[in-house]
Amino acid sequence: LHLVQNLRVSDRCAHSSGTRGWGGGGKWGVKKVMSTIEWQLLFQKRCPSRGTFTAWCNSHLRKAGTQIENIEEDFRNGLKLMLLLEVISAERLPKPDKGKMRFHKIANVNKALEFISSKGVKLVSIGAEEIVDGNLKMTLGMIWTIILRFAIQDISVEETSAKEGLLLWCQRKTAPYRNVNVQNFHISWKDGLALCALIHRHRPDLIDYSKLRKDDPIGNLNTAFEVAEKYLDIPKMLDADDIVNTPKPDEKAIMTYVSCFYHAFAGAEQAETAANRICKVLAVNQENEKLMEEYEKLASELLEWIRRTIPWLENRVAEQTMHAMQQKLEDFRDYRRVHKPPKVQEKCQLEINFNTLQTKLRLSNRPAFMPSEGKMVSDIANAWKGLEQVEKGYEEWLLTEIRRLERLDHLAEKFKQKSTLHKSWTTGKEELLSQKDYESASLMEIRALMRKHEAFESDLAAHQDRVEQIAAIAQELNELDYYDAATINARCQGICDQWDNLGTLTQKRRESLERVEKLWETIDQLYLEFAKRAAPFNNWMDGAMEDLQDMFIVHNSFFVHTILITAHDQFKATLPEADKERMAIMGIHNEILKIAQTYGIKVVGENLYTVLSPQDISNKWEAVKQLVPMRDQTLQEEVARQQSNERLRRQFAAQANIIGPWIQTKMEEISHVSIDIAGSLEEQMSNLKTYEQNIINYKSNIDKLEGDHQLSQEGLIFDNKHTNYTMEHVRVGWEQLLTTIARTINEVENQILTRDAKGISQEQLNEFRASFNHFDRKRNGMMDPDDFRACLISMGYDLVSAFSPGEVEFARIMALVDPNNTGVVTFQAFIDFMTRETAETDTAEQVMASFKILASDKLYITVEELRRELPPEQAEYCISRMTKYIGGDAPPGSLDYISFSSALYGESDLWKKLDHNEYKQRVMVNVVHDIMVKDLGEVPSGGAHGHSRWRS
């Protein structure tokens, strides 16, 4: 032994997997130095794998009620070796030979070795004779092969090899722990912290990791060994002193021991994976439900606002006053400027949310979202369309009513003015006509009364036109539905009745005067002539004064110039002739004075034939001359107002003629960006965001145009020959532009979402876009069915003949890309179709399999299991939505996770065709099928239902 130690044979023993054999001649000639007994004693004492392998074998043999004491002796007859293989493989080996002869033992060991070989394991240089002869090296090599096949080979993390997979699993589990850095299966485990971290990660109740110290490796290792043996049923396979005091601990021994931890925690790993999958699916479902609830809420609020607004816009009950109608117009402006724009944004956002939700549902393999009845996007669009139709009619009605009320106010004021003048003229006329002064008058007085009456009749006839004008105005006010028509009618009726009475009284007085006319001989012709000429002239002056003070309504300066100013100039041109008539009338009066002076006639009192005096004529003439410049000023002010209105028209037109084409240009640019394939989706998104910001920044121009439009309406300007763009056109274009940029951005966002979710490269997306653009012949971002058919044919689909099965296939594809039968295929639907077959999403069957793991292979799951395996929020979500399990083998309160999993993805055709129990059986067969394929590596030719092992 002393010689062997000097030769460091023990180090060679520790590396038994070297190229040289345990007894090979080699450099040192070990066989010449040691006897077999000495060699075995040294190997038993110095090889750590021996004790580890023995403990590992006993951990499995004790399940069969036995164990081994000496690893090279107890396996020599092959009986316990066959029993070990049956325990770890859960399979039956051939019946062992019961004899005790050497050939019986060799036969049993060969049966074990053949079973190992049947599992795809190559046994190099290991024969039954060596095992029967108790060759320790061969026996340990065989046990290590068994450990690799049945304990380590199935360990694979991210498609790595068995050893690398086990190492990666250890690294991931211990990554969060301080002072732990697992890089191999030897020195990384010397301080014992890695083993303690593995236990604490899965069972934190067994070890207080915070109290462990790196400088106490033996204490750490013994803690791990004791806890594993006591609580995890992992026997102590290693010695703490050997690990700590050996420069490089035995790799196989540590791998064997660590693999026991992997298998001990495999159930927890599987449950954790299943729980993570379920949480992921439930999180997607909860997020989708939240988006659905938000859509329902926004849709309800928007529809309710439209429902409340339409009756207000449909109310066409006109107000009676101009002020009230102006207030209605102001309320409508507030609605257009303040109340409606946020609703336009809400409507656009609602469509965006709906499209995003449908995309998320489609990408997560969920059924499409069907809003409540009456809350589809199309329903909202129809309601909005109805709102805008009513809105347009309401504004037209408002402006028409304002024009009508303006006309009514003007006519009412004119009626009042003319009625007042008429009243002034008729004051005292009835009393005058009713007098009987002619009965006691002298001849001259009778003649004077007769002439005076004739003058009155002349005046009465002259006033006939004014009365007819008053009646005509009253009639027009009635036709225009003037609110105070009753008062107008009453006053008009009073004037007409009075006029008829005046006519009757005039006729009676004339008859009376004519009866006594013959009694009177002389009439002062000069007074009569004065009276006859003064009365019409006075009447003309009254008319002139009335015209000079007449009110007017105009809507352009051209009317002021061509009608009013021209008429006024014509009137001023008649003033010289009127002045001649005045001078002639005054000449008659002067002639009377001259005759009286010449012939010594004393003129006493006033002209008996008229109430008009020369002073009256002079005073009215001065009044007419004063009104002429006042009328000039009024007309010039109106010209200035109309010129101001014209400036407003030109100012509005200048902006509108810029804004209108700008909006159209931006619409075209956005359309160009949305079909551009030169850059990536992110570049398209950046360009669209830039456009959106530019559009938002341009809002101030729209607001300024709104301000000019309001000024125009306040100035009662309702026409503009300088532009074809009305404010309504600009508003509609602006709202379409906002909606288009928002929708386009949302489409690109959905394309990015689809690209990332389905793993589409930018090159593939560009190819899709190029194909789509080529067959989008109208360049409107949509393909009609014929263009889409041509696109599919260009990609290899057999859809040429209308009577071939290809037509059925095309109908199926159209049902996928155009489920609402709109008659067009959008780019988003085109991308969905092109990537539909390659999508990798969770399925209902996968979720069922995950629940099955948490339920320990039962067809139901309990509330306690859900709360134990899932986070609180997800657990309560499942409990509140799962139905009770129907079956006699389940405890009360058990839940049906199969129907719940199916409902997450909508009712499939399979679910509709099968009853519940049969569907569960089908699902379980599929689950078993997946497990068998994984374990066996192949599918039996008979299928899941045609093979005896599968059926069992």
Rounded to 10 deg, the angle between the 251-264 and 48-61 helix axes is: 30
- Predicted local distance difference test score (pLDDT) of residue 18: 37
404-446 residue pLDDT tens: 787 778 888 888 888 898 888 888 888 888 888 776 665 577 7
Task: Assess whether pLDDT exceeds 80 at residue 718.
Answer: no
- Distances in Å between the Cα of 501 and the Cα atoms of 434, 497, 498, 527, 541 are 11, 6, 5, 28, 26
Rounded to 10 deg, the angle between the 575-598 and 614-675 helix axes is: 170
- Name the pLDDT band for 184 (thresholds 50, 70, 90): very high
Which residues have C-beta within 8 Å of that of residue 663, sequence separation ≥ 6? 730, 733, 734, 736, 737
- Predicted local distance difference test score (pLDDT) of residue 553: 67
Look-up of token digits 């090899």: 161
- Predicted local distance difference test score (pLDDT) of residue 693: 92
First to last CA, the chain: 59
Q: Are 870 and 279 spatial neighbours (Cβ–Cβ below 8 Å)?
A: yes
666-678 residue pLDDT tens: 888 887 776 666 6
344-389 residue pLDDT tens: 988 898 889 888 888 888 888 888 888 988 889 889 999 999 988 8
Round to whole Å and give the CA distance between 830 and 817: 7
Beta bridge pairs of residue 861: 895
Geometric angle at alpha carbon 208, from 206 and 212, rounded to 5°: 125
Query: What is the rounded average pLDDT of the residues 834-861?
Result: 78
- Name the pLDDT band for 952 (thresholds 50, 70, 90): very low
Out of 7-11, 276-280, 783-787, 838-842, the most confident range is 783-787
Round to whole Å and give the CA distance between 781 and 713: 40
DSSP, collapsed to helix, strand or coil, labels residue 148 as helix
Look-up of token digits 């993570």: 276
- Predicted local distance difference test score (pLDDT) of residue 800: 61
Q: Characterize 9-40 residue by residue with b for buried, 16 or more Cβ atoms within 10 angstroms of its Cβ, and e for exposed.
A: beebbbebeeeeebeeeeeeebeeebeeeebe
- Predicted local distance difference test score (pLDDT) of residue 517: 62
Round to whole Å and give the CA distance between 568 and 903: 87
Least confident of 105-114, 510-519, 697-706, 918-927: 918-927
Its sign, for the CA torsion 254, 256, 259, 264, is negative
DSSP, collapsed to helix, strand or coil, labels residue 739 as helix
**Number of residues that make up the chain:** 952
Higher pLDDT, 218 or 165: 218
Which residues have C-beta within 8 Å of that of residue 771, sequence separation ≥ 6? 791, 794, 795
Round to whole Å and give the CA distance between 146 and 128: 15
- Name the pLDDT band for 516 (thresholds 50, 70, 90): low
- Distances in Å between the Cα of 327 and the Cα atoms of 146, 314, 322, 402, 553 are 96, 17, 9, 11, 22
- Predicted local distance difference test score (pLDDT) of residue 7: 35
CA–centroid distance for 44 within its chain: 75
Round to whole Å and give the CA distance between 54 and 861: 40
Round to whole Å and give the CA distance between 387 and 328: 18
Its sign, for the CA torsion 296, 301, 306, 311, is positive
Q: Are 576 and 652 spatial neighbours (Cβ–Cβ below 8 Å)?
A: no
Query: What is the rounded average pLDDT of the residues 462-471?
Result: 88
Q: Are 224 and 286 spatial neighbours (Cβ–Cβ below 8 Å)?
A: no
Rounded to 10 deg, the angle between the 827-835 and 727-758 helix axes is: 10
Task: Assess whether pLDDT exceeds 60 at residue 599.
Answer: no
Q: Are 606 and 524 spatial neighbours (Cβ–Cβ below 8 Å)?
A: no
As given in the structure block, the two tokens for residue 712 are 């125009």
Which residues have C-beta within 8 Å of that of residue 530, sequence separation ≥ 6? 585, 588, 589, 592, 607, 609, 610
Query: What is the rounded average pLDDT of the residues 781-798?
Result: 82
Query: What is the rounded average pLDDT of the residues 280-290?
Result: 86
Look-up of token digits 């110290």: 213
Task: Assess whether pLDDT exceeds 50 at residue 521.
Answer: no
- Name the pLDDT band for 87 (thresholds 50, 70, 90): confident
Query: What is the rounded average pLDDT of the residues 185-202?
Result: 91
Q: Are 480 and 405 spatial neighbours (Cβ–Cβ below 8 Å)?
A: no
As given in the structure block, the two tokens for residue 758 are 């389905």
Q: SS3 string of 272-339?
A: HHHHHHHHHHHHHHHHHHHHHHHHHHHHHHHHHHHHHHHHHHHCCCCCCCHHHHHHHHHHHHHHHHHH
Higher pLDDT, 262 or 12: 262
Round to whole Å and give the CA distance between 53 and 140: 8
Query: What is the rounded average pLDDT of the residues 95-113?
Result: 88
Round to whole Å and give the CA distance between 35 and 771: 83
Task: Name the helix (H) or strand (E) containing 825.
Answer: strand 825-826
Instruction: Output the pTM of the full model.
Output: 0.51
- Name the pLDDT band for 836 (thresholds 50, 70, 90): low
Residue 267 neighbours by CB distance under 10 Å:
11
Task: Name the helix (H) or strand (E) containing 638.
Answer: helix 614-675
Residue 667 neighbours by CB distance under 10 Å:
15
732: left (phi over 0), alpha (psi -120 to 50) or beta: alpha
DSSP 599: T
- Predicted local distance difference test score (pLDDT) of residue 32: 29
Full set of structural domains in the chain with CATH: 280-406 (1.20.58.60), 410-516 (1.20.58.60), 534-655 (1.20.58.60), 660-802 (1.20.58.60), 844-903 (1.10.238.10)
Least confident of 220-234, 571-585, 586-600, 715-729: 586-600
307-348 residue pLDDT tens: 999 898 888 787 777 788 788 888 888 888 888 899 898 889
Q: Are 76 and 105 spatial neighbours (Cβ–Cβ below 8 Å)?
A: yes
- Predicted local distance difference test score (pLDDT) of residue 879: 92
Instruction: Return the amino acid letter for 82.
Output: M
Its sign, for the CA torsion 719, 721, 722, 726, is positive
Task: Assess whether pLDDT exceeds 90 at residue 140.
Answer: no
Task: Assess whether pLDDT exceeds 70 at residue 722.
Answer: yes
Percent of the chain with pLDDT over 70: 83
Q: Are 421 and 542 spatial neighbours (Cβ–Cβ below 8 Å)?
A: yes
Query: What is the rounded average pLDDT of the residues 693-705?
Result: 91
Strand 825-826, strand 883-884: pairing = unpaired
Percent of the chain with pLDDT over 90: 14
Q: 115-123 long-range CB contacts below 8 Å, 24 or more apart? A: 115/82, 115/85, 115/89, 116/85, 116/142, 116/145, 116/146, 116/149, 119/89, 119/149, 120/149, 121/145, 121/148, 121/149
- Name the pLDDT band for 160 (thresholds 50, 70, 90): low
- Predicted local distance difference test score (pLDDT) of residue 654: 92
Its sign, for the CA torsion 485, 487, 489, 491, is negative
- Predicted local distance difference test score (pLDDT) of residue 227: 92
As given in the structure block, the two tokens for residue 483 are 């609110």
Round to whole Å and give the CA distance between 777 and 786: 11
- Predicted local distance difference test score (pLDDT) of residue 523: 36
| Helix/strand number for the chain, H first, E second | 40, 4
Q: Is 293 exposed, middle or buried (0-12, 13-18, 19+ CB in 10 A)?
A: exposed
- Predicted local distance difference test score (pLDDT) of residue 641: 82
Higher pLDDT, 43 or 572: 572
Query: What is the rounded average pLDDT of the residues 657-685?
Result: 82
- Predicted local distance difference test score (pLDDT) of residue 197: 92
- Predicted local distance difference test score (pLDDT) of residue 921: 56
549-586 residue pLDDT tens: 877 666 555 665 567 788 888 888 888 999 998 899 88
Mean pLDDT of all residues belonging to the chain? 79
